[in-house]
Amino acid sequence: MQNLLTSAQIRDADAHTISIKSISSLDLMESASLAFVKEFEQHIRDKNILISIYCGNGNNGGDGLAIARILSGKGYKNIAVKVFRFAKKSTADFEANRARLIDSGISLTDLSEASQFPEEKSDLIIDGLPAPG
């Protein structure tokens, strides 16, 4: 069985990397998103596949937004981005990636209520939602 890190362990690992490598949290997020997309491309070669990316408005959501932008830049054509506003305040890195996504021409749908959850027809879902707890 593969061990997974808790949210607190991931935050600690991010903070450690940021301090050791003198990298901004936004650049670390971009690097992680690029690594995800590199692996994604190895497994999902069909650029016409329907992809939905669900995001919160924290840093996991920021990762999802960066992934959407990078996938689009790699030629994936059918990407739907859905943002659930679980918290009243977004993180700075989420907002930076939201602006980058909008600047790239990709639209997103903001949702604030569970009742707004759309019927899903995508072939693949990427989870950028907050970790429980």
Query: Which residue has better confidence, 1 or 14?
Result: 14
Q: What is d(CA 69, CA 76) in angstroms, rounded to the nearest whole number?
A: 10
One-letter identity of residue 2: Q
One-letter identity of residue 96: A
60 neighbors 94 (Cβ within 8 angstroms): no
For residue 19, how many other CB atoms are within 10 A of its CB? 9
- Stated as kind and residue range, the H or E segment containing 18 is helix 7-21
Domain ranges in the chain are 8-128
pLDDT for 46-55, tens place per residue?
999 999 999 9
Q: Is the dihedral of CA 114, 118, 123, 126 positive or negative?
A: negative
pTM score, two decimals?
Answer: 0.89
pLDDT for 76-132, tens place per residue?
999 999 999 877 899 999 999 999 999 998 989 998 777 777 788 999 999 998 877
Q: What is the CATH number of domain 8-128?
A: 3.40.50.10260
pLDDT for 33-79, tens place per residue?
999 999 999 999 999 999 999 999 999 999 999 999 999 999 999 99
